[in-house]
Structure 1
Amino acid sequence: MSYIREADGGGLAIGAMTTYAALQGSELVQSNAPVLADAAGQVADAQVRNMGTIGGSLAHADPAGDLPAVAIALNAELVTSSTGGHRTIGIDDFFVDLLTTSLESNEILNEIRIPALAANSGSAYAKFGNKASHYAIVGVAAVITTDGNGNCTGASIGVTGAGPAAVRAGDAEAALVGSSLDDDAINAAASAAGNGIEFNEDVHASAEYRAHLTSVYAGRAIRAAIANAG
């Protein structure tokens, strides 16, 4: 189904058949998860945004898709349906490998739940896109939370395009939490964003170039998220 509504207890509940265009234009998404609206607006072209859906993007798990990284950064929960009932999958358990998720053969993705962002949080998505398809050669989504005095109390970072599946940049998150978000901390986090990734190599970019892009775009996403946190 296609819908966007406030979830019980805060945050958003989004039907899996909700299109990119609906996400981009939704005031609820813009208010509660602006990085999702921003990333949806960067997908492909108008025709694709009017037809493609958030559920299709996540379930397909294309390694160059935009929304998987955003879902990781937003700590999304995915609700499935099957003849046996429903289950909820945390985003860190969802993406398994190239075009592979933890969905069972008898399951469909039914709903995406986005928790409410903490106070003093900012978010951003930055990508180096293919000029023709607009797929992410590398894309990084970041959500940064501060204590109001510029100190980082929370960081959530997702990376797409770099490897066979979207992943959480855990080492980059750890480099930020507890820091004053100065240049040294941000640079350390950006350098660590690619840790553990087996970088893709194809006609669009070498593994070495993707590693470089991951660091560069992690830095851009983090700095933009900090700016958006005020």
Structure 2
Amino acid sequence: MALETDTGKKWEMLNEAVLHLGANSLTVGSCRLEKDKQDFLLSSFDPRDFWKHYFDEGWYQYDPSAQNALAGVPQTFWEMPEPERFRARGALEDFANAAAAGKVRTLLSFTSSSPDNQVVSVFTVSGEKAVADFSRTQIQSFGMLAKIFSAANFSLVEHEQTHDLLRLSGRELEVLKLLKQGRVLAQIAFDLGISYRMVTRHLTSAKSKLGMPTNESALALAMELGLV
């Protein structure tokens, strides 16, 4: 089974992007969660070998992005992980330690999917960074690869947060846009002709939908996703 006829071109694009990011390998982990078992796959590739291995080993059968590409899911959203979940399995720490010992910079992607193929996490890490140093800003360096997967018709399935993002109200977006312009909350209330309390209510709702704890982090994510 082949999802694309020009996979050769796709791995050339992937290889070019990985090298541009300064990485010397692509590492992919996939955690398939089911009621009676958890299958965890972790493999490293020279980027030039990734596509061949991907198809030869039948990863497309378990890859939510591939399955949803076939189903016509149009959106690609990337979400930060819960590192503790992977720490519990030991795989992440083992890999990070090995990468640090080898003094290599490695692009690392983890995709954890539930039985209904909802993607919940993906992120990058360099070998010199400690596991505890992960932050949402690191996801930005993955944008180039996200575009390539999208170009290859590999799209991550829409999950609950995706639907929340699509439900951001016009007023919530207005508040975030004014926040982006450097307005304080009192100024936003004046500009929009609403109460200060209503501004905070809109921000609280936006933070909840974006899954972020602070106004600053919510704005950063909204900007990263191109919402404002």
TM-score, normalised by the number of residues in structure 2:
0.28
Q: Which has the higher helix share?
A: 2
Q: Which has the higher strand share?
A: 1
Higher-Rg member (1/2) = 2
